[in-house]
Structures are given as structure tokens and as C-alpha cells.
């Protein structure tokens, strides 16, 4: 039996790890996933028994849900619903025809194009939107998979080609043509991968802000008429474009050009057809998800029933979230979580006030940022108006989603001329998650995460709740002061409010957190400390603040507090999935999140009498403390 003093994660989760199996249709099972599965079962039961809803949008959802599960109808439609988009690509006779049609393809079609123009909050002017530029997504999870010595590169790309040929064959393509398209997309993907951001670069999101004046942007990218493209999307030219991927920008003409036309055309065609399989017959649905299952080590496709649920709740996510929130989230729980949040913001302010490594001006600005922080708990006040346009007719599921996507596309680009709505939620209430938004200085806790083992009013003690949801709440607060969030001010603008000396001291502490995780072995691979540093800073600050708040309760029990922390990070996953996350996920593996952060707290060693020589021991001089 594993001693807690040697391995907190293994000790507190021993029974769970022994008796819990990874579901065949998932690459992992974790505390978060168990809630997802529970909520899925609850909502699937509700939606199978409720005939009518008070909310008109939910009535449309119910019709869509039923249609999504009608695999006889989906079989009868065949691949015909995708034909209009396929024809748009097939009819592109040359590169000039392609670039001329770009505004229409981006705005009104399902057809993918090999670059991104998006409307996002302007990081330096958070009440307005900016136009952003990025490259296309890659076939493999991230750039590290394209290294010649990566053990899975050839295996995965070969599988992708073979799988693509099978899919295209079902769309009526002969073997030779299908193979040519499959090989072409892999060739073009290799070009894209040369210039794409690494996961580490994406993780430093403040550094993605590279504004380019519109005139310079248009003059630099000569192989696409961006004046026409941008005007077609926004109705006018903006003053600037924010470049997220600098290498894509610098090498754009080497990517998009006449010489690459056939590769680009195959890329667009294969991307379109592969994505469409999600909405077609059951055989195509299963065939179309084979590559992602291969990638993650998932043994089976989702059942028809679960797939229909996934598809429908994805299309109507905020509507389903409001239904879930109104049905299953109580005002009492909301008030209690609000109290805990207020308490931990207060703890943060007090800890900042006593901080010994920051100067007073920086401390005062940090406290003001906490004062200005907005907290959303449970579910939003209203449903976005866009959902009223998602009406269900006798079209195929594919055609319905295509129509919905056109509505979304028009709405997305129309936002450019509007002020940013800082009350908008970016997660539905039935999602088991939480987030901090740096551009609005807001923390959001959807209703679905406010359940055991994270939180329970009646079945968990206050110390357990602080070790669960309390640490999650304080984690999100801490994101306001991680290596990214710290660069944004109280109003959500990227604005340096630090003194130079203070920020250098902060960077030195970041380096300690990076070193603490960097190179650790797990699942046959190693942790990239730079990739996971922001989440680790948030974990460390969150755990410290939650513990401080728990200690103020009259019935504090630190054994229960630390045990609960270890339990919320329980996880079992396929090796393929773990290795994929190590290459691209900004979160450290669950076991390391559980074990390493507690080993930075003196109170953990005192609580469990952990001594030198024990597996959990960390010398006092090596304990990393930031917030």
C-alpha cells in the first residue's frame, strides 16, 4: 500500500485507481470526466422524457436532437448534402479562381481555407474588437510531432492517408484520385507545419499580439487580394491586423501561391469531406473519427445515442447550459460559492499587502485589479440572440449545421463594428470547467463544476470544499497574476503596470516554477516546464489561497483539505493521450498537479509528518512560492 508521505496522488486515489476503468469511448477518465458523464446521463434522460419546453429555442433543440439520432434518415441522405460544397472546390479551375472566391468561401460556406481571419478582443483596447491573422490547423497535434525522430510521425500520417482514401472512396472517388488527394494534403500540411506556432508559443498568449498596419499587411501578403477578402468579411478595412503567427505571416507567399494550387485544393477538399462525416451515415461517422481515436488511444467510437447528444448539445450549447442551470443549480449553492470567492479574493489582497518581494506601487495596482475583478457563477442571465435563428426544418443534419454555421460566421464578423460584450459567457453552464478572462478581468464558474468532489453543501466539509472548488476558484483568481494574466490591467487591457525591478523578480520566480516541472518523466515522455508554467503558477497560488481561507474556518481540517486536493486530480488515461497532452496542453499531468504543488507548502509537511527520505519530501530551500 502506498503511503501518503511517499505519493499523495497514489495514496488518496488508491481504491479509485484500482477499480476504475477508462470508458471504451474515451481516452481517459478523471474527476472532471466523471461529472461530465453524470451530467450527460442526466440530460440524456431529461431530453428523452420531456415532450415540450417553455423556451422556444429548446423546442428547436429537441427537434434537432431527435434528427441527429435518426440514422436511417442520415443513411438515406447519403453524401448528397455535402455535394454543393464539394462542387465549389472541384470547380476551382486555377489559383486565380480560388483567391477570387475566398470572401464567399469564408463567409458563406463550410469550405476550409488555409489561413485564419478572426475577430477577437483587442488585447490593448479591450472594449473593442480587432481583426486577427493566423495559419491553418495541422493534421498532427502540434509541431513536435513533425520532428523526423518523433516515434509516431510516420505511423500517424500513414494511417491518416489510408483512412482518408477509405472516406473519399465512400464519396465516390476512385482509388487513384482519392490517394492523390490524401497524399497532397499531407504534402501541404508539411509546408504549413514549417511555419506554425509551437504549443509553447501559443501558451504565451500576450506575445501573440503583433499589430501590423493594414497597408503594410496587404502589401506584405501579395498572393491573396486581402483588400477584397477583408472588405468582404468586415465591410471595410480596419486600421490594423493582429498577427498571431509571425512565421506564417513572413512566409505566407510561400504557402499560398499558384505553384501550390493543386495541394491547396486537395487540402480544402479533404478537410471538408473529413469534417462532414460527423453528420452523415453511421458508417461514415465511425470511419471519420478513426484517426482521432488512433491519435488518442481510444478503442471505440461513441454510441449513436451519445453521438446524437454530443452533436445537439454542441450546436445549442448555451441553450442547454441555461436549461441545466435553471434545473439543477440552486441559489443556496450559488451564495455559498460566492462567499468562498469573496473570501479568497480578500485572502489574495491580504497576501499581496504583506508581499515582501514586490514594491508598494505594484502591490497597490495588483490589489486594485482584484477589486475590479468580476465573478460569474452558475449560468448567464440570458441566451444570446443568435440561437433564435437556429430553426430546424426537414433538411439533413449536415445542411442544418451548414446553415447554422453561416449564421455564426456572419455574426462573428459583424461583431467587429460593435463594442465588446464583457458579460458574454465563453462556456455553457453544463460544462465541467472554469476560466479566467484576462481581457475582461472576469472569473467564471459554470454550474456543472459545482458538484462532488469539487463541492457539496451537504456531503463535504468546508475544508473539503476549500480543497476542491476553493482551490479551483483561487486558481482562476491566480490566472490574473500568472505569466500571461499579469500583463493585463484591471480593465482587461494589455498594459505593463509593473515596475521593471518587480517584473524581473516575478520572472525569476517563474523560472523556479519552470525548473520544478521541466524534464519530469511521466507516461514515457517528459514535461515541458515552459509550456505548463502559467497553469502551475495558478495551481500554486490557488492552493495557497484556498488553504489560507480554510485555516480561517473554526472547524479547519488540513488533512481533509489536502486529501480533497489530491482527489480532484485523479485520472487514468491511455499512454497515447498522455503523451499527446504533454506536447500541447498548458496543464501539467494530474498526478504532478496533485503532488508537486502540495510539496511547496510547509503546512503539508506538518500536517502529514512528511520527513526527509519520504517520497513527498522537498527541501525547504527548493519549495517554490510565488503568490
585 classed as catalytic: no
The C-alpha cell 480596419 sits at 238
Beta-carbon contacts of 270 under 8 Å, excluding residues fewer than 6 positions away, are 164, 168, 181, 182, 184, 185
Cα–Cα distance between 327 and 159 in angstroms, integer?
Answer: 44
Nearest to 555 by CA among 465, 459, 462, 468: 462
Question: Rounded distance, CA 511 to CA 513, Å?
Answer: 5
| Three-state secondary structure readout of 198-254 | CHHHHHCHHHHCCEEEHHHHHHHCCCCCHHHHHHHHHCCCCCEEEECCHHHHHCHHH
Phi, psi of 5 (to 5 degrees): -65, -20
> Which is catalytic among the residues 10, 245, 476, 585?
476
Q: Can 539 be counted among the known catalytic residues?
A: yes
Residue among 406, 400, 545, 413 nearest 471 (CA) = 545
The H or E element that residue 143 is part of is none
Phi first, then psi, for residue 543 (nearest 5°) are: -65, -40
CB 128 within 8 A of CB 419: yes
Q: DSSP characters for 532-589?
A: THHHHHHHHHHHHHHHHHHHTSTT--HHHHHHHHHHHT-EEE-HHHHHHHHHH-SSPP
Catalytic residue (one of 142, 290, 539, 557): 539
Residue 280 region by backbone torsions, left for phi larger than 0, else alpha for psi between -120 and 50, else beta: beta
| Closest residue by Cα to residue 583 from 249, 151, 244, 159 | 151
CA distance 200 to 219: 29
What does DSSP say about strands 442-446 and 374-378: parallel, antiparallel, or unpaired?
parallel
Q: What is the DSSP string of 90-102?
A: HT--SHHHHHHTH
Distance between CA atoms of 107 and 35, rounded to whole angstroms?
A: 37
Query: Could you give the residue numbers annotated as active site?
Result: 476, 539
Amino acid at each position: 500500500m502506498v503511503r501518503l508521505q511517499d505519493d499523495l496522488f497514489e495514496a488518496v486515489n488508491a481504491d479509485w485507481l484500482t477499480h476504475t476503468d477508462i470508458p471504451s469511448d474515451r481516452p481517459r477518465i478523471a474527476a472532471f470526466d466523471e461529472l461530465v458523464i453524470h451530467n450527460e446521463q442526466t440530460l440524456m434522460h431529461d431530453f428523452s422524457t420531456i415532450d415540450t419546453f417553455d423556451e422556444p429555442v429548446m423546442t428547436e433543440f429537441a427537434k434537432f436532437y431527435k434528427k441527429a439520432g435518426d440514422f436511417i434518415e442520415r443513411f438515406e441522405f447519403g453524401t448528397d448534402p455535402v455535394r454543393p460544397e464539394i462542387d465549389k472546390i472541384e470547380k476551382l479551375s486555377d489559383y486565380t479562381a480560388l483567391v477570387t472566391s475566398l470572401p464567399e468561401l469564408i463567409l458563406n460556406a463550410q469550405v476550409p481555407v488555409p489561413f485564419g481571419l478572426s475577430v477577437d478582443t483587442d488585447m490593448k483596447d479591450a472594449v473593442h474588437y480587432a481583426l486577427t491573422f493566423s495559419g491553418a490547423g495541422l493534421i498532427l497535434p502540434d509541431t513536435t510531432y513533425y520532428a523526423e525522430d518523433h516515434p509516431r510521425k510516420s505511423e500517424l500520417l500513414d494511417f491518416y492517408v489510408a483512412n482518408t482514401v477509405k472516406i473519399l472512396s465512400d464519396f465516390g472517388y476512385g482509388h487513384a484520385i482519392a490517394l492523390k488527394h490524401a497524399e497532397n494534403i499531407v504534402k501541404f500540411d508539411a509546408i504549413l507545419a514549417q511555419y506554425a506556432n509551437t504549443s509553447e508559443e501559443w501558451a504565451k498568449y500576450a506575445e501573440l499580439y503583433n499589430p501590423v498596419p493594414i497597408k503594410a499587411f496587404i502589401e506584405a501578403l501579395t498572393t491573396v487580394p486581402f483588400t477584397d477578402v477583408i472588405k468582404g468579411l468586415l465591410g471595410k478595412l480596419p486600421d490594423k491586423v493582429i498577427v498571431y503567427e509571425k512565421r506564417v505571416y513572413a512566409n505566407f507567399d510561400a504557402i499560398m501561391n499558384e505553384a501550390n494550387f493543386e495541394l491547396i485544393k486537395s487540402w480544402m477538399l479533404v478537410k471538408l469531406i473529413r469534417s462532414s462525416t460527423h453528420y452523415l451515415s453511421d458508417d461514415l461517422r465511425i470511419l471519420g473519427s478513426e484517426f482521432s481515436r488512433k491519435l488518442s488511444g481510444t478503442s471505440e467510437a461513441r454510441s449513436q445515442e451519445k453521438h446524437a447528444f454530443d452533436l445537439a448539445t454542441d450546436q445549442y450549447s448555451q441553450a442547454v447550459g441555461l436549461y441545466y442551470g435553471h434545473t439543477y443549480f440552486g441559489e443556496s449553492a450559488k451564495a455559498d460559492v460566492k462567499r468562498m470567492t469573496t473570501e479568497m479574493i480578500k485572502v489574495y489582497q491580504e497576501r499581496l499587502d504583506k508581499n515582501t518581494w514586490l514594491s508598494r506601487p505594484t502591490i497597490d495596482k495588483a490589489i486594485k485589479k482584484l477589486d475590479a475583478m468580476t465573478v460569474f457563477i452558475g449560468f448567464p442571465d440570458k441566451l444570446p440572440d443568435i440561437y433564435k435563428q437556429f430553426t430546424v426544418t426537414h433538411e439533413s443534419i449536415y445542411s442544418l449545421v451548414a446553415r447554422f454555421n453561416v449564421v455564426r460566421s456572419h455574426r462573428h464578423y459583424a461583431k467587429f463594428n460593435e463594442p465588446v460584450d464583457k458579460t458574454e459567457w465563453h462556456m455553457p453552464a453544463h460544462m465541467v470547467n472554469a476560466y479566467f478572462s484576462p481581457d475582461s478581468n472576469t472569473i467564471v464558474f459554470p454550474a456543472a463544476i459545482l458538484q462532488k468532489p469539487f463541492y457539496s453543501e451537504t456531503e463535504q466539509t468546508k475544508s473539503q470544499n476549500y480543497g476542491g472548488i476553493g482551490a479551483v476558484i483561487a486558481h482562476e483568481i491566480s490566472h490574473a497574476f500568472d505569466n500571461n494574466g499579469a500583463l493585463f490591467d484591471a480593465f482587461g487591457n494589455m498594459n505593463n503596470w509593473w515596475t521593471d525591478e518587480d517584473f524581473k523578480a516575478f520572472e525569476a520566480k517563474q523560472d523556479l516554477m519552470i525548473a520544478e516541472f521541466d524534464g519530469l518523466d511521466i507516461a514515457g515522455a517528459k514535461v515541458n516546464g515552459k509550456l505548463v508554467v502559467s497553469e502551475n503558477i495558478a495551481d500554486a497560488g490557488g492552493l495557497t489561497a484556498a488553504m489560507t481561507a480554510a485555516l480561517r474556518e473554526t472547524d479547519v481540517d488540513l488533512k481533509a483539505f489536502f486529501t480533497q486536493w489530491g482527489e480532484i486530480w485523479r485520472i487514468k488515461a491511455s499512454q497515447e493521450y498522455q503523451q499527446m497532452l504533454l506536447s500541447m496542453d498548458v496543464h501539467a499531468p494530474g498526478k504532478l498537479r496533485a503532488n508537486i504543488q502540495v510539496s511547496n507548502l510547509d503546512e503539508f509537511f506538518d500536517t502529514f509528518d512528511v520527513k526527509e527520505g519520504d517520497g513527498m519530501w522537498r527541501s525547504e530551500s527548493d519549495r517554490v512560492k510565488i503568490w
